[in-house]
Structure 1
């Protein structure tokens, strides 16, 4: 199974956002620069994470992105499904019922064994992703990564975070988004 680069960028972004304090945000441009990816490409994915309720978008000079819920409540599966969609990776189109070896429909009354095996694998894959939270990823990184990588990540977050701002959902009446 191949996941898009957007999944990787989204998981890294969400994990870094988990290190921010209450109300702090980080601009998308900081992530785009850090990962050397197009800001518009990253913004497309961050907007999907906002629409899925994983992130909040904050407007204004102190704006950026922050987690919409605790890192313990966001799983890898949440991020993958937001970016890649909820459809299974394998979608059986019943090709066994086409071509020169096609038989009458009643021959295919039982489910396709290939489809059944692929869906079983998909369930296992999704269950494994659902068991791992963003908080788990952040904790494992802090405990197991090279200390230079941890220090660099902490410095990046400290340099790029913005102080508390109000989300679009919590702005005062009459205030521009």
Structure 2
């Protein structure tokens, strides 16, 4: 199990958007510049987040991206589900190298089922844990415990 760069970049995008002052949006090129990531790849990720109603995309001269939901309502599972292919942990796994060491088909079936059950339980736990934790938990906070507000457009323009 490995987390993809899409998932990690999604968290970065969402943190940046969450730090924006009310009514301010960020353009994709501003986000990609600040995160130092491919603009094309960032647009693909942003589209997936938009399609899942996690962010809004406003098309206009002054448009850009903004959060569509409060931080406390965006779980890590929501983010993961938006940007990761919908596969089970064992999709595409070739078990033949393991199966070939056993002579008995019964042993293969029995032990294979035990293994699948273990991985299925792990997958369920992974999903449940991500669903229990929210973007608000990783947000930098000010001295009052509120998420920091940063006008990234000004910061990016200055650099």
TM-score by length of 1: 0.71
SS of the residue corresponding to residue 57 of structure 1 reads strand
Deviates more, 1:114-123 or 1:87-96: 87-96
The corresponding residue for 1:142 is 141
TM-score by length of 2: 0.78
Matched, 1:78 2:78: yes
Q: Is the 2:20–2:150 Cα contact (8 Å) retained in structure 1?
A: no
Distance 1:107 1:29, change over 3 A: closer
The corresponding residue for 2:113 is 112
Q: Distance in 2 between matches of 1:101 and 1:131?
A: 40
Distance 1:22 1:127, change over 3 A: same
SS of the residue corresponding to residue 45 of structure 2 reads helix
The corresponding residue for 1:7 is 7
Give the deviation of 1:102 after TM superposition.
6.2
- What is the root-mean-square deviation of aligned Cα atoms in Å? 3.1
The CA deviation string for residues 15-59 of structure 1, in whole angstroms up to 9 with x for no partner, is 221122444211111111112111001111000111111111100
Q: Distance in 2 between matches of 1:158 and 1:128?
A: 36
The corresponding residue for 2:150 is 154
Matched, 1:39 2:39: yes
Distance 1:31 1:40, change over 3 A: same
Structure 2: stretches of 5+ with no match in the other structure: none
Structure 1: stretches of 5+ with no match in the other structure: 145-149, 161-177
Q: Distance in 2 between matches of 1:157 and 1:130?
A: 31
Give the deviation of 1:79 after TM superposition.
0.7
Distance 1:90 1:142, change over 3 A: farther
Give the deviation of 1:69 after TM superposition.
1.4
Q: Distance in 1 between matches of 2:6 and 2:92?
A: 25
Distance 1:95 1:107, change over 3 A: closer
Q: Is the 1:19–1:157 Cα contact (8 Å) retained in structure 2?
A: no
Q: Is the 2:55–2:69 Cα contact (8 Å) retained in structure 1?
A: yes
